[in-house]
């Protein structure tokens, strides 16, 4: 891949751009402390994330009509609160918890890396998170996105090819001019299958200290970088 | 209208945020000079813009399937070049001319005004221009949009209500929490009919010194401001 052929970088967000796990745990702890609620908030955050894929698959298979991620997060939260036997929360409090996903902290290299990449390329999220979620997160974390792309604009969740190809179409580019950047190899393989280029940026701390991430990048990826600053360097910015 | 009820400002762009006419004329002149082409570039810019509405109406009435503004601009350009008897341009040169619309200069109050408004509100374009056009223009002019909304995401041009209401839905807000800002009274009236709030910011120089704009704002508008800095002040930012 010649970096000068690339016109836009689109990014997986949860895990790749922001530390969703640390941020959700921290907000849950603060929320619980303010209300005298005790729970294993690490397990709670992991449980919330684990429910994401089955809910999304209900949409992908047509068992649910198109439903954006905020609404799926909320369905999952209702289930999870019952499982953790957390009762007595008002509707407003549940809505507030759901917004924890809008306030996720970027990895330390994210913001300076995005500013550097932005000088040469269009940069946009390509997340399963919906437009409002990404917009709030961008304001919260100071992420200098040029536009917000993602699954909601396609009404197709990743890894459906329509999700990536809607982003490519909105950018009026060819798929091979768009570099999908992610910390998750299956996401990149699906993007490559749709004709996009792929940059792998491992985030070994995404799932916390206990889980061991897959360390060996598929040799088919176009770029492998340590972080977003290294990615900019490798793309010649 | 209480400004604290407003959560997002969405903006008409051509004329309201940027000086499309001055910018297109300047780029046409430079393009012509570099190639020894002479034409009345003021009339050329006005003619290009005048073709926009009939082409858009072909889409609105179903005579054309959904076609984004870049592609409508290009169809109009082909017609216009024939009318002005400008011949011999290559495909690349015509594509370059079409990108003039991606490089429009903001009015002097636009960028500082948007930065101020962004502190309190989500700010996004709500233009008939497509996502790529708005994204390029944002990079060119340093417009600090939080996300890119607009007609292309609805596959409905303004003033169809679907255009405004798709933006409201993507922002997960009620229509009355969204303030449509424009220099064009019909745009604002259509937004109000769809339930949105309306801010009028006249741009008396939009059509150049010869055309007289309508100076009397409809008293039904929620805010009337001199420019974007004044708008921020009037919204209490």
Say if residue A230 is in the same domain as residue A137: yes
Question: How far B33 CA lies from chain A's nearest CA (Å)?
Answer: 28
Say if residue A80 is in the same domain as residue A66: yes
Test mutation, A71, A102, A146, chain B, max B CBs within 10 A: A146
pLDDT value for A213: 65
pLDDT value for B213: 65
Helix (H), strand (E) at residue B11: strand B8-11
Say if residue A118 is in the same domain as residue A98: no
Give strand pairing partners of B105: B19
pLDDT value for A211: 74
Question: Of the ranges A21-35, A183-197, A210-224, which one carries the lowest mean pLDDT score?
Answer: A210-224
Say if residue B88 is in the same domain as residue B117: no
Say if residue A136 is in the same domain as residue A158: yes
B122 vs A138: CB contact, 8 Å cut-off? no
For chain B, say whether A135 makes contact (Cβ under 8 Å): yes
Say if residue A120 is in the same domain as residue A91: no
For chain A, say whether B148 makes contact (Cβ under 8 Å): yes
Say if residue B130 is in the same domain as residue B169: yes
Distance CA B73, CA B89 (A): 16
A172 vs B148: CB contact, 8 Å cut-off? no
- On chain A, the residues whose CB falls within 8 A of the CB of B147 are 131, 134-135, 138, 145, 147-148
* Cis previous bond, B6, omega within 30: no
Test mutation, A66, A99, A148, A151, chain B, max B CBs within 10 A: A148
Name the percent of chain B in helix, strand, coil, to the closest 5.
50, 10, 40
Question: How far A67 CA lies from chain B's nearest CA (Å)?
Answer: 12
Of A118, A135, A152, the CB nearest to B146: A135
Say if residue A13 is in the same domain as residue A27: no
Say if residue B226 is in the same domain as residue B153: yes
B131 vs A70: CB contact, 8 Å cut-off? no
- On chain A, the residues whose CB falls within 8 A of the CB of B73 are none
CATH number of the domain encompassing residue A111: 3.40.50.1000
Question: How far A109 CA lies from chain B's nearest CA (Å)?
Answer: 21
For chain B, say whether A174 makes contact (Cβ under 8 Å): no
Say if residue A203 is in the same domain as residue A149: yes
CATH number of the domain encompassing residue A89: 1.10.150.240
Of B132, B147, B153, the CB nearest to A135: B147
Chain segment B141-150, per-residue pLDDT in tens: 999 999 999 9
Of A118, A136, A170, the CB nearest to B132: A170
A146 vs B139: CB contact, 8 Å cut-off? yes
Chain segment B155-166, per-residue pLDDT in tens: 999 999 999 999
Helix (H), strand (E) at residue B143: none
Where among B102, B133, B148 does a domain terminate?
B102
Give which of A193, A158, A190, A173 is closest to A122, Cα–Cα: A173
Test mutation, B68, B131, B169, chain A, max A CBs within 10 A: B131
Q: Is the pLDDT of residue A161 over 90?
A: yes
Where among A57, A84, A102 does a domain terminate?
A102
Of A118, A147, A172, the CB nearest to B148: A147
Where among A53, A69, A102 does a domain terminate?
A102
pLDDT value for A212: 72
Chain segment A210-220, per-residue pLDDT in tens: 777 667 899 99
Question: How far A195 CA lies from chain B's nearest CA (Å)?
Answer: 20
CB B10 within 8 A of CB B180: yes
Say if residue A140 is in the same domain as residue A221: yes
Q: Which residue has the higher pLDDT, A224 or A209?
A: A224
pLDDT value for B78: 97
Question: H/E/C letters for each residue in chain A?
Answer: CCHHHCCEEEECCECCCEEHHHHHHHHHHHHHHHHCCCCCHHHHHHHHHHCHHHHHHHHHCCCCCCCCHHHHHHHHHHHHHHHCCCCCCCHHHHHHHHHHHHCCEECCCHHHHHHHHHHHCEEEEEECCCHHHHHHHHHHHCCCCCCCEEHHHHCCCCCCHHHHHHHHHHCCCCHHHEEEEECCHHHHHHHHHCCCEEEECCCCCCCCCCCCCCCCCCCCCCEECCCHHHHHHHCCC
Test mutation, B172, B173, B178, chain A, max A CBs within 10 A: B172
Q: Count of domains in chain A?
A: 2
Phi, psi angle pair for B116, to nearest 5°: -70, -45
For chain B, residues with pLDDT lower than 70 are: 213-214
Distance CA B169, CA B164 (A): 9
Chain segment A62-99, per-residue pLDDT in tens: 999 999 999 999 999 999 999 999 999 999 999 999 99
pLDDT value for B61: 94
Say if residue A79 is in the same domain as residue A113: no
Over range A183-201, report the average pLDDT.
Answer: 98
**Residue B29 belongs to domain spanning:** 20-102
């Amino acid at each position: 891949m010649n970096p000068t052929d690339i016109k836009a970088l689109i990014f997986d967000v949860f895990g790749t751009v922001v530390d969703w796990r640390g941020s959700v745990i921290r907000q849950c702890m603060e929320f619980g402390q303010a209300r005298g609620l005790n729970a294993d908030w690490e397990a709670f955050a992991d449980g919330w994330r684990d429910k994401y894929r089955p809910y999304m698959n209900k949409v992908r298979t047509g068992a649910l009509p198109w439903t954006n991620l905020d609404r799926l997060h909320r369905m999952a939260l209702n289930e999870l609160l019952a499982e953790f036997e957390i009762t007595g929360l008002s509707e407003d409090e549940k809505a507030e918890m759901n917004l924890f996903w809008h306030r996720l902290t970027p990895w330390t290299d994210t913001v300076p890396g995005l500013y550097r990449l932005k000088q040469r390329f269009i940069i946009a999220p390509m997340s399963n998170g919906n437009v409002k979620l990404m917009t709030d997160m961008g304001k919260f974390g100071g992420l200098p996105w040029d536009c917000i792309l993602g699954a909601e604009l396609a009404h197709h969740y990743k890894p459906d090819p329509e999700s990536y190809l809607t982003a490519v179409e909105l950018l009026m580019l060819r798929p091979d001019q768009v570099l999908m950047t992610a910390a998750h190899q299956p996401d990149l393989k699906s993007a490559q299958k749709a004709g996009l280029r792929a940059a792998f940026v491992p985030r070994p701390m995404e799932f916390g200290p206990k889980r061991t991430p897959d360390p060996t990048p598929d040799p088919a990826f176009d770029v492998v970088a340590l972080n977003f600053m290294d990615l900019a360097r490798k793309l010649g910015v």
